Amino acid sequence: MHFLLQDDSQQASFSWHDDASDIGHKGIHMTTVIVSLSIVPSCMRMWGFQPFVFQGVGAACAFAGAALHESVPRRTGSAKPVRKVALFFA
């Protein structure tokens, strides 16, 4: 489980990656679930698909952990940070 705080620093915004390799489960089937904990909308995208918009608290996206995905950068100067929790199931 990872808790994410996405603010103007962009430190918790991710370029293209897959979670299976990042957390040492390469070759093992796993599922990633990302849940928004904020009312502020945010967005991510998976390779080959349209962006997914988290429209508020409880909005969630589940996908294969080996899928390439990235954060869609937030507009700079956003007033409120976005909080999310990422859950990894193997």
Most confident of 11-15, 16-20, 24-28: 16-20
pLDDT at residue 10, rounded to an integer: 58
* pLDDT tens digits along 68-86: 999 887 665 667 888 999 9
Q: What angle do CA 7, 13, 17 make, to 5 degrees?
A: 170
pLDDT at residue 75, rounded to an integer: 65
Backbone φ and ψ of 27, nearest 5°: 90, -5
How many independent structural domains does the chain possess?
A: 1
pLDDT at residue 57, rounded to an integer: 97
pLDDT at residue 16, rounded to an integer: 87
User: Where residue 18 sits, what CATH number does that domain have?
Assistant: 2.60.120.10
pLDDT at residue 69, rounded to an integer: 93
Domain of 55 in residue numbering reads as 2-89
